[in-house]
Amino acid sequence: MTFSSAFDVDIDSTSPPIVKGFRFAGIASGIKSNGKPDLGLILADELVAAAGVFTRNRVRAAPVEIAEKRTRKGKLRAVLVNSGNANACTGAPGKKATEVSTAALAKRAGFKAEEVAPASTGVIGALLPADKIVDAMPRLLDAVGADRASDFARAIMTTDQWPKVAARKVRLGNKDVTLLGIAKGAGMIHPDMATTLGFVVTDAGASPALLAKLLREATDVTFNSVSVDGDTSTNDSLFLLASGQSTMLKAGAKETARFREALIDVLGALARNIVRDGEGANHVVEIVVQGAKSDADARKAAKTIATSPLVKTAFHGHDANWGRILAAAGRSGAVFDPAKAEIRIEGNKTKVAIVKRGMPIGKEAEAEAAKIMATPSYRILVKLGVGKGASRYLTCDFGKSYIEINANYRS
Amino acid sequence: MTFSSAFDVDIDSTSPPIVKGFRFAGIASGIKSNGKPDLGLILADELVAAAGVFTRNRVRAAPVEIAEKRTRKGKLRAVLVNSGNANACTGAPGKKATEVSTAALAKRAGFKAEEVAPASTGVIGALLPADKIVDAMPRLLDAVGADRASDFARAIMTTDQWPKVAARKVRLGNKDVTLLGIAKGAGMIHPDMATTLGFVVTDAGASPALLAKLLREATDVTFNSVSVDGDTSTNDSLFLLASGQSTMLKAGAKETARFREALIDVLGALARNIVRDGEGANHVVEIVVQGAKSDADARKAAKTIATSPLVKTAFHGHDANWGRILAAAGRSGAVFDPAKAEIRIEGNKTKVAIVKRGMPIGKEAEAEAAKIMATPSYRILVKLGVGKGASRYLTCDFGKSYIEINANYRS
């Protein structure tokens, strides 16, 4: 695989661009008891091509089951999102509540409930108050505007500290194509399941099958290569909607490859934003594994390093603890010869090797590395020395407030 | 599988029994700069049947490589153990240092170096100071005694707060059989790799093949079913030595099954002791999964629950957070229907269900559960409701001092 700049993209999130064919809204419907925005809508001007990626957790909330079924048909008119309540582990009444909510939108807006994908995030085990959503529907539709993506971004937040928006414009086939991504935080800190929701809309067009393929590929190297605490939510959902009002993408075309890169950039920026937004996280760390027997092996090693509590606490202490990193790679299942392993710490300006041929270089190198590890963001390069497989994972440190917040969240 | 009392056994560790055919020693050789005991010896009167289980980490210390090779032959005269230095990631010089150390013992005691299994624990990346071990050899052999197991237990400690000893006597075939187990701590807290070393000696006898089988089976349900932070050491080693001076065990015999149970008891008690001995750990929690499609599925679920940082921080806060437990099971890969799942919290005296048919029972039940979770040790029973597969895992909570100690260990 090649390494795009996925995680490095920083895009101004204060003024999301207009995307032809889509309008947005975000209002307070009373699901959150503090009166903050909790109901969001993405409304397409007509039925548009759509794809989705959903949590692989066996325990899936009602909205996930329904959204997956509806999105699988490849066409959607709207996505209806609420925060403050995940509607997970709520049985048949939960399913009913989501159906009632999406039906209310469909009826009022004049399309079919099957054309609305739902998404929910918030407390689990509590039934979604569908009546509040139904009551708020006129206000929600009144609030809709092409320039209201920021309202939507705020309405889907749970304990996120800031709204997460990333956009990219690319010139494809003599036309300007815009991609706008909006997400809400997972987070090492975030209570309970730390649900990740992501939405990308574009004015490019594509067949549902191509769209699904592009989304899956881009998700693998971005949202699926991010670890905060290794847990997967009951509600994780990611959507891609394409209005087709600019260039039409075709499988195998050069433009499609460039669109894919732009999609990776947008999702990568959102993923990085999600990792950064942890109260206990002081450092965003990219784990890059190279020289593995295969990409799959590299991924195993990168993921195991990125989710090791011992490694993550060492990050918190700016400790160039190569032993923990090497041992995590060693237990990952990746095949390699430890006697050939190399580890480098790479900051914005300086790089330093701390392990060569499986052995530590010395205290001086580790002191240099510790300086880089005191900065907010750096990279750890692990070379396994047995092949050409590569992968990477984005993670963060484990700080004391992780324990504080997660131990006391519900008490 | 059936549940023995493995993790529940508490055995007085202050006066380990004599085991016919074995002598022990523990002295200070100067590897530890603070002058504490750091060199231990188990000496068999003659060549005895032996079996070993070693870390599956790809990164393995020199003593592990050598010990596995020698133990595989099925016969040992001695085990030579040092603390204070793991001799891991030390390349060819490390291998040489271990060879020199064991050769010094063999020469002085009058047997072959190939009959000595080495084990090391401590700082990694630093070469074992073989000269100190060689110099200390006369004193080590002078200190040997049948009643010196406690000295041995102390000499193998690193950051353990107490020596870990467990013993069991069983009457098999009209003879008294003794099993004596000695271990040192892994530990959620313990710096770097948290190496687990374990040694069981018995006066029962068995073929090396039977011994290896018994050790593997007993390890699976004890040492391999314990999680502190999910990391596996470069040095983990577990040995079983059988002098054969009492009953001879035969494959398939009733006595052998009873010996196996006793071995599980001893290893289970040691494993529990290791989990308890974490400075940040206030709670020892047994995760029991039942009703899975297979034992393998149950094990996946139990392990994922036991190693989830979100679950472990909830334990720290006495939070009956069924959502985190259910979601961990859900992402474990175990096949089940969440709508049939049950979760119970079981203390010494009281039990309370918090989830039935995949849905929460309510705040009152959770408040009851929180009371049980405030005690030092309890059980979480997760019923998946789809089959007869069962498994269990022993784990502990993640406290703030976990972060403190592990973030600052080397600084």
- Judged by average pLDDT, the poorest of A23-37, A153-167, A371-385, B222-236 is B222-236
- Check residue B187 and give its pLDDT: 54
- Check residue B27 and give its pLDDT: 98
Range B14-25 average pLDDT: 93
- Check residue B231 and give its pLDDT: 60
Tens digit of each residue's pLDDT (9 = 90 or more) over A25-74: 999 999 999 999 999 999 999 999 999 999 888 899 999 999 999 999 99
Could you give the CA distance from residue A368 to residue A345 in angstroms, rounded to a whole number? 9
- Check residue B15 and give its pLDDT: 82
Is residue B255 situated within a structural domain? Answer: yes
By the CB < 8 Å criterion, does A402 face chain B?
yes
Beta bridge pairs of residue A24: A42, A145
**For chain A, how many residues are written?**
411
- Check residue B6 and give its pLDDT: 44
Range B11-30 average pLDDT: 88
Claim to verify: residue A351 and residue A212 sit in the same structural domain: no
User: Nearest Cβ partner of A330 from B59, B360, B402?
Assistant: B59
Claim to verify: residue A162 and residue A206 sit in the same structural domain: yes
Claim to verify: residue B290 and residue B271 sit in the same structural domain: no
**Catalytic choice (B71, B90, B178, B195):** B195
- Express as a percent the part of chain B with pLDDT over 70: 90
Claim to verify: residue B96 and residue B155 sit in the same structural domain: yes
By the CB < 8 Å criterion, does B310 face chain A?
yes
Is residue B346 situated within a structural domain? Answer: yes
Question: Which B residues 190-209 touch A at CB under 8 Å?
Answer: 192-194
Is residue B1 situated within a structural domain? Answer: no
Tens digit of each residue's pLDDT (9 = 90 or more) over A211-270: 999 999 999 889 888 776 556 688 999 999 999 999 999 999 999 999 999 999 999 999
Which residues in A10-34 are b (16+ Cβ under 10 Å) and which e?
ebebeebeebbbbbbbbbbbbbbee
User: Nearest Cβ partner of A89 from B192, B232, B326?
Assistant: B326
What would the two tokens of residue A12 be?
Answer: 């101004």
Cβ of A402 and B403 within 8 Å? yes
Cβ of B58 and A331 within 8 Å? yes
State which amino acid sits at residue B124.
Answer: I
Last residue of a domain, one of A255, A276, A297: A276
The range of the structural domain enclosing residue A374 comes to 284-408
Is residue A60 situated within a structural domain? Answer: yes
By the CB < 8 Å criterion, does A349 face chain B?
no
Claim to verify: residue A272 and residue A299 sit in the same structural domain: no
Claim to verify: residue A181 and residue A325 sit in the same structural domain: no
Most distant CA atoms of chain B, gap in Å: 69
Higher-confidence residue of B149 and B6: namely: B149
> Is B307 known to be catalytic?
no
Cβ of B318 and A408 within 8 Å? no
Claim to verify: residue A299 and residue A231 sit in the same structural domain: no
- The residue among A322, A403, A405, A408 with the most chain B CBs within 10 A of its CB, best to mutate, is A403
Residue A123 has pLDDT above 90, yes or no: no
- Check residue B4 and give its pLDDT: 36
Claim to verify: residue B294 and residue B221 sit in the same structural domain: no
- Express as a percent the part of chain A with pLDDT over 70: 90
Last residue of a domain, one of B234, B259, B276: B276
Tens digit of each residue's pLDDT (9 = 90 or more) over B100-146: 999 999 999 999 999 999 999 988 889 999 999 999 999 999 999 99
Question: Which A residues 248-277 touch B at CB under 8 Å?
Answer: none
Claim to verify: residue A78 and residue A185 sit in the same structural domain: yes
Claim to verify: residue B112 and residue B254 sit in the same structural domain: yes
Last residue of a domain, one of B219, B244, B276: B276
Is residue B179 situated within a structural domain? Answer: yes
What would the two tokens of residue B283 be?
Answer: 């709670």
**CA–CA min distance B206, chain A (Å):** 32
Q: What is the DSSP letter of A394?
A: E
Q: Which residues of A are known catalytic residues?
A: 195
By the CB < 8 Å criterion, does A101 face chain B?
no
Q: For B289-350, give the DSSP string.
A: EEEESSHHHHHHHHHHHHH-HHHHHHHHTT---HHHHHHHHHTTT----GGG-EEEEE-SS-
Beta bridge pairs of residue A249: none
Claim to verify: residue A152 and residue A264 sit in the same structural domain: yes
For helices A295-307 and A309-316, the axis angle rounded to 10 degrees is: 60
Is residue A1 situated within a structural domain? Answer: no
Count structural domains, chain A.
Answer: 2
- Judged by average pLDDT, the poorest of A97-101, B64-68, B231-235, B270-274 is B231-235
Tens digit of each residue's pLDDT (9 = 90 or more) over A329-361: 998 999 999 999 999 999 999 999 999 999 999
What is the CATH number for A170? 3.60.70.12
- Check residue A191 and give its pLDDT: 40
- Check residue B278 and give its pLDDT: 67
Claim to verify: residue A175 and residue A228 sit in the same structural domain: yes
Q: Where are the beta strands (DSSP E) in A55-137?
A: 75-85, 116-123
Question: Which B residues 134-193 touch A at CB under 8 Å?
Answer: 192-193
Tens digit of each residue's pLDDT (9 = 90 or more) over B175-191: 999 999 999 985 544 44
- Judged by average pLDDT, the poorest of A354-363, B191-200, B338-347 is B191-200
Residue B193 has pLDDT above 60, yes or no: no
- Check residue B173 and give its pLDDT: 86
Cβ of B403 and A331 within 8 Å? no
With a cut of 0.85, is the ipTM above it? no
By the CB < 8 Å criterion, does A411 face chain B?
yes
What is the CATH number for B290? 3.10.20.340
Residues of chain A positioned with their CB less than 8 A from the CB of B408: 317, 319
Is residue A78 situated within a structural domain? Answer: yes
Is residue B177 situated within a structural domain? Answer: yes
Angle at CA of residue A327, ends A325 and A332, nearest 5°? 95
Cβ(A327)–Cβ(B59) below 8 Å? yes
Query: Of B66, B285, B277, which is closest to residue B183 (Cα–Cα)?
Result: B277
